[in-house]
A = this chain, B = another copy of it.
Amino acid sequence: MTIERKTRQYEAIRAVLTEAKRPLLAQEILSLASVIVPKMSLATVYRNLKGLQANNLITSVLLPGQNPRYEIKTHTHHHHFQCRYCEQVFEVNLCPGGFESFMPEGFTVEDHELILYGECKECSAQKSEES
């Protein structure tokens, strides 16, 4: 359960998550880490994700109706933006806040989740090129 040895696979997975700077799917992690350590198994990805989570180094990012993504844990409150075209997820560091007033008397708001959807910079640029 807890990671005791620093394997090449573990380091590769950690590096991939650190460098991506955005939440990644287990499959994406496998693809990217396989470049560093060929023949890596998906099971190894899941095992290390579990270990990294147990060590509080990563958190899972859940978007409605989608498989979990994983990102390096930060202590800053943030949300996410997903591009509808490339499906990549990005961090959003702003938050409107003040949701307590949204609910009627008797309800308490303890937490919230905000997800923005649209077109990312890269996909937007690609469209311009096509014309």
Contact = CB atoms under 8 A, between A and B. Distances in A.
Interface of A: 62-65, 68, 81, 84, 90, 92, 94, 96, 98-99, 101-121, 124-125
A2 B65 CA distance: 24
A112 B116 contact: yes
Contacts of A103: 81, 92, 116, 118
How many copies of this chain are found per oligomer?
Answer: 2
Chain A, interface SS category: mixed
Nearest to A63: B64
A96 B84 CA distance: 22
Nearest to A106: B121
B109 A81 contact: yes
A99 B116 contact: yes
